[in-house]
């Protein structure tokens, strides 16, 4: 049964003024608002059709919004969110529903003011004819900006609550701020005070002031009676709303408003005779067809049966101890909480997280899962795994489930695009505040789907409201950023289980945002699962305390940091001491011998030639793209072009995806196409989320946790037939001047990771390098990570002065990053009863998943992204010729709009330019030169793929000159950049 209106479906029998039920496609009850109002109150308008004569009276929009809010509460809001709201109100969830419906009903009361009503002459004249005098728009002039209708609505509602119902002024703000902030930003106190002193914007002075006051009160009185709040306001007066509840109420009102503001669903007046509010809402809800939340049940199977039913396990596979332990701990936790899973690479942490999420969601009443990963590439890899898991979940009465891949290039992902094309939604998505409208899906596939990419949820501000979301960590970190419509991000996560993968991969700046978000998730009671193979103990404690909302001096968390077992589970629940789980190791593992290798390119080539004499596959990981390309050039000369593959982040998107696919095909678990002898030269893209297996590893020195991730690609699978010389797992460490008194990493590595982290890594690895002691995996993982990130001395005594100097520089940099992150970070969840007013003061505006948006939560170098197209001798443009699946060589006319197929194919060829081209002293010149390829015919709404993008034309085999640099792009090497005069 889908969570939509259908014959014989009845919503939960809760009260909305009169009972609201759904039967035979009709919503009945609660639609008598118009009959309670005078002609003057009925004349107030709320919306108008800018392209025609249609309009919507305020009473009708109030009624529509309230009805939608009630349906959202009954059919869409997860149980966890309903329980949180109801938990602070005298009559629980029944009161919660009344409150949501009432606030949605009155959210636009600020439109019953001269400052708003004067905007459309014809509609203002109707109101004047009814006795509501007001100046013409020009008469109020720029002062109108002091009275946006959200702020005016908050002022009117607070006044009404005090004067009509005896509320103390301070108590009104925590409720009325929902009205004041329904356009995305809660007001600041100074704005409210300023408007309070400008009464002419709220009521026209003179004889008409009393009429305005009466109409405003009449509308609020009628809403209180009609929407069930009249008899409850006295009880609510003593309630202190937590800020978490204020946030989700604000989010629900915004969602209800946006749906009720969609003219495709709720047509404007004039309407046909026999207007019926119930049928109007029922038809709109049927047309929206919004999927309801996931409603899981706690699985009763033992771990082996559970994993066998939820995942496609290879023959002979057994459930690993850490997987079974994660499920059991999720079952045993006293309530919703944080579960940290630390286990070696390849132990099935992803499956453990999903299985635990199912248990935690069922116990907490969560309605979905948000899976956050470090990069777009890892998100893309995770998305089909999530879909497979969803397909294997028991139905348990769930209808359609909404699913989203959340990052800026998700539309180019095959699975995500296929899911959207297969969904049958046809309603336009409308963001009434941002004038965002997505085209109807018209001719896309009409087949029903159990998993749908619901089109109304496709807007950039609504996407995370889907039940199941896979996205980059940025999407979660945005929940800690002062940004417009932040309440929607919080509403989205408040009803889900959140999974955070690769928790070790984030720096101080990102962790500042992550910790703040964890604090809010803990306040919401959101279950969170954190995954890492190489998590420092101090970071483990920070995560636990951030979720619990306690400071660094809390003694009961000392054991969390002191634990050194591995694998390790940590559970944190509000009001309880942390619990540690110590599952047995799976028995998988290997010994890895570390060796030093000089940094010369010929030294590298000679060593590989010797090691691969009898065959074998080697992975060479370099810390910068320039080092990747330099090494690949030398190795191709020695071994031949066909024996060397390059992988790094400076390929266009389609090529990078193909590179990953080919690496998995050649070096993945199957191994059927594994070459006899081959070398892959890669940057950090080989560190994570690629299940590849090599016989030999050569790596630049890196922070020890990341180096261990690279080592995890060495002898990853049991593979018979490895060359005799390579049957012992070995990692050759390079990128270091080993002859210096203290080993000195190359400059490029220091620029990426900092000297401190690299020296600490070398220090803890020194015994393994000096004494030839094997590196035991997974046995040594935790010990190495904790030593490298701990505060104790490491390395030989003569290294101490250099290490101390590097540490001082490192600490100063971390302090700087922490201060920088705090500028736009939201404050911690406030005390009960503290209004959200000023919550986003000094914010960033919108938080978008764009280069600029991601820079707000990532401390990474600025870069420019371009779309690469191919330029012919005559200057005409086309999509790059080697793009597969019929996407190559499609014409891109510059004097007209390219075809949708060609534009989409071109957009799939995005490329991030290196940071050196975005430095402040050159970025303006780079952009100016790229804007030579700005074509007016492409800047239209019919061309969303290319409008506003920077275009980089290339000619195969020929360099492109850009701002004094020579750019060469090839399918084999990606983008190579050099000085034009070199």
- Closest alpha carbon to 35 in 68, 15, 63: 63
Which residues sit opposite 958 in a β-bridge? 955
What are 621-661's pLDDT values in tens digits?
A: 999 999 999 999 999 999 999 999 999 999 998 898 889 88
Tell me how crowded residue 328 is: count the other CB atoms within 10 A of its CB: 17
The contacts of residue 814 (CB under 8 Å, 6+ apart) are 508
CA–CA–CA angle 617, 622, 623 (5° rounding): 150
The list of the chain residues with pLDDT below 50 reads 1-28, 424-450
The phi, psi pair for 497, rounded to 5°, reads -90, 135
Spatial contact of 479 and 370, defined as CB atoms under 8 Å apart: no
Spatial contact of 376 and 473, defined as CB atoms under 8 Å apart: no
Quote helix, strand, coil % in the chain, to nearest 5.
45, 15, 40
Going from the C-alpha of 430 to that of each of 216, 288, 542, 962, the distances in angstroms are 28, 12, 40, 40
Q: Domains in the chain, ordered, with CATH?
A: 21-288 (1.10.3210.30), 303-581 (3.40.50.300), 599-644+675-777+791-808 (3.40.50), 861-979 (no CATH)
CA distance 351 to 370: 14
Q: Which H or E run includes 402?
A: strand 401-406
Bridging pattern class, strands 877-878 and 337-342: unpaired
- Closest alpha carbon to 864 in 821, 824, 911: 911
Sign of torsion over alpha carbons 776, 646, 759, 799: positive
CA distance 277 to 266: 10
pTM of the full structure: 0.88
Tell me how crowded residue 950 is: count the other CB atoms within 10 A of its CB: 18
Spatial contact of 55 and 48, defined as CB atoms under 8 Å apart: yes
CA distance 659 to 381: 13
- Closest alpha carbon to 317 in 346, 338, 358: 346
Axis-axis angle for helices 781-789, 704-711 (nearest 10):
160
CA distance 5 to 7: 7
Axis-axis angle for helices 755-771, 781-789 (nearest 10):
140
- Coil vs helix vs strand at 596: strand
The number of residues in the chain equals 982
- Coil vs helix vs strand at 572: strand
The answer, yes or no, to whether the previous bond of 72 is cis (omega within 30 of 0) is no
- Convert 200-247 into a string of H (helix), E (strand) and C (coil): HHCCCCHHHHHHHHHHHHHHHHHHHHHCCCCCCHHHHCCCCCCHHHHH
CA distance 966 to 982: 9
- Looking at residue 958, what DSSP letter applies? B
Going from the C-alpha of 675 to that of each of 614, 616, 682, the distances in angstroms are 12, 8, 17
Which residues sit opposite 19 in a β-bridge? 15
Tell me how crowded residue 893 is: count the other CB atoms within 10 A of its CB: 15
The phi, psi pair for 440, rounded to 5°, reads -65, 155
Bridging pattern class, strands 21-23 and 950-954: unpaired
965-970 β-sheet, strand order:
960-962, 965-970, 974-979
Sign of torsion over alpha carbons 185, 456, 481, 912: negative
- Closest alpha carbon to 223 in 45, 48, 98, 113: 98
CA distance 134 to 871: 61
pLDDT at 274: 63
pLDDT at 844: 65
């Amino acid at each position: 049964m889908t969570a939509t209106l259908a014959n014989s479906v009845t919503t939960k029998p809760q009260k909305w003024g009169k009972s609201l039920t759904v039967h035979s496609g009709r919503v009945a009850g609660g639609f008598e608002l118009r009959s309670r109002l005078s002609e003057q109150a009925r004349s107030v308008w709320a919306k108008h059709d800018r392209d025609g004569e249609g309009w919507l009276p305020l009473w009708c929009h109030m009624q529509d919004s309230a009805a939608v809010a009630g349906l959202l509460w009954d059919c869409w809001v997860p149980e966890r969110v309903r329980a949180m709201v109801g938990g602070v109100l005298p009559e629980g969830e029944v009161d919660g529903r009344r409150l949501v419906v009432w606030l949605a009903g009155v959210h636009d009361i600020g439109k019953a003011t001269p400052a708003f009503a004067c905007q459309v002459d014809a509609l203002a004249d109707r109101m004047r004819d009814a006795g509501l005098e007001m100046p013409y728009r020009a008469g109020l002039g720029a002062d109108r900006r002091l009275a946006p209708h959200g702020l005016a609505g908050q002022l009117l509602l607070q006044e009404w609550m005090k004067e009509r119902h005896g509320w103390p002024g301070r108590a009104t703000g925590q409720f009325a701020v929902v009205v004041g902030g329904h356009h995305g930003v809660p007001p600041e106190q100074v704005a409210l005070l300023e408007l309070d002193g400008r009464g002419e914007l709220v009521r026209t002075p003179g004889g008409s002031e009393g009429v305005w006051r009466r109409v405003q009160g009449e509308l609020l009185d009628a809403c209180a009676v009609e929407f069930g709040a009249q008899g409850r306001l006295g009880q609510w007066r003593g309630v202190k709303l937590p800020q978490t509840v204020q946030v989700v109420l604000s989010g629900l009102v915004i969602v209800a408003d946006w749906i009720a503001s969609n003219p495709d669903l709720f047509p404007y007046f004039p309407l046909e005779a026999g207007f019926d509010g119930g049928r109007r809402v029922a038809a709109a809800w049927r047309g929206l067809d919004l999927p309801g939340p996931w409603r899981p049940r706690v699985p009763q199977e033992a771990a082996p049966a559970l994993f066998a039913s939820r995942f496609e396990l290879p023959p002979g596979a057994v459930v690993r101890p850490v997987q079974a332990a994660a499920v059991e701990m999720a079952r045993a936790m006293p309530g919703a909480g944080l579960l940290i899973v630390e286990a070696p690479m390849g132990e099935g942490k992803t499956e453990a997280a999903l299985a635990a999420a199912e248990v935690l969601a069922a116990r907490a009443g969560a309605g979905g899962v948000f899976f956050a990963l470090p990069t777009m590439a890892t998100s893309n890899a995770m998305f089909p795994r999530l879909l497979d898991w969803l397909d294997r979940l028991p139905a348990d009465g769930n209808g359609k489930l909404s699913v989203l891949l959340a990052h800026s290039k998700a539309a180019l992902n095959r699975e995500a695009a296929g899911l959207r094309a297969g969904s049958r939604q046809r309603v336009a998505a409308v963001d009434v505040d941002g004038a965002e409208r997505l085209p109807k899906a018209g001719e896309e596939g009409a087949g029903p789907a159990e998993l749908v990419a619901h089109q109304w949820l496709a807007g950039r501000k609504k996407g995370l409201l889907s039940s199941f979301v896979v996205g980059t960590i940025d999407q979660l970190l945005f929940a800690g950023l002062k940004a417009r419509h932040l309440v929607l991000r919080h509403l989205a996560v408040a009803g889900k289980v959140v999974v955070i993968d690769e928790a070790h991969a984030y720096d101080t700046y990102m962790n500042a945002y992550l910790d703040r978000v964890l604090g809010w998730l803990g306040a919401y009671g959101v279950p969170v699962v954190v995954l890492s193979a190489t998590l420092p103990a101090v970071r483990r404690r920070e995560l636990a305390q951030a979720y619990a909302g306690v400071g660094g001096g809390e003694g009961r968390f000392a054991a969390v940091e002191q634990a050194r077992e591995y694998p390790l589970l940590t559970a944190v629940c509000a009001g309880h001491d942390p619990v540690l789980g110590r599952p047995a190791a799976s028995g998988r593992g290997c010994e890895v011998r570390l060796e030093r290798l000089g940094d010369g390119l010929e030294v590298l080539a000679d060593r590989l030639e010797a090691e691969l004499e009898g065959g074998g596959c080697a992975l060479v990981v370099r810390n910068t793209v320039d080092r990747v390309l330099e090494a690949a050039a030398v190795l191709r000369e020695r071994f031949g072009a066909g024996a060397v593959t390059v992988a790094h982040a400076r390929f266009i998107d389609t090529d990078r995806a193909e590179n990953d696919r080919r690496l998995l095909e050649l070096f993945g678990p199957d191994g059927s196409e594994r070459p006899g002898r081959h070398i892959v030269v890669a940057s950090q893209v080989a560190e994570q989320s690629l299940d590849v297996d090599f016989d030999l590893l050569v790596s630049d020195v890196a922070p020890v946790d990341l180096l261990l991730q690279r080592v995890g690609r060495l002898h990853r699978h049991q593979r018979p037939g490895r060359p005799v010389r390579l049957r012992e797992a070995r990692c050759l460490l390079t990128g270091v001047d080993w002859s210096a008194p203290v080993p000195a990493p190359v400059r490029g590595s220091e620029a990426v990771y900092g000297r401190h982290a690299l020296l600490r890594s070398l220090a803890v690895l020194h015994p393994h390098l000096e004494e030839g002691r094997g590196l035991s995996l997974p046995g040594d993982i935790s010990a190495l990570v904790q030593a490298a990130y701990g505060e104790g001395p490491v390395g030989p005594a003569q290294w101490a002065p250099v290490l101390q100097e590097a540490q001082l520089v490192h600490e100063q940099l971390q302090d700087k990053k922490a201060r920088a992150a705090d500028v736009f970070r939201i404050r911690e969840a406030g005390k009960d009863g503290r209004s959200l007013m000023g919550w986003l003061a000094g914010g960033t505006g919108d938080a978008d998943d764009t280069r600029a948006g991601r820079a707000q939560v990532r401390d990474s170098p600025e870069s420019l992204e371009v779309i690469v197209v191919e330029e012919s001798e005559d200057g005409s443009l086309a999509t790059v010729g080697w793009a597969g699946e019929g996407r190559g060589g499609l014409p891109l006319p510059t004097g007209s709009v390219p075809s949708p197929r060609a534009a989409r194919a071109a957009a799939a060829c995005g490329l991030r330019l290196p940071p050196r081209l975005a430095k402040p002293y050159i970025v303006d010149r780079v952009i100016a030169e790229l804007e030579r390829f700005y074509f007016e015919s492409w800047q239209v709404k019919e061309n969303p793929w290319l409008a506003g993008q920077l275009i980089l034309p290339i000619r195969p085999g020929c360099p492109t000159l850009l701002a004094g640099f020579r750019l060469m792009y090839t399918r084999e090497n990606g983008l190579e950049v050099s000085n034009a005069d070199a």
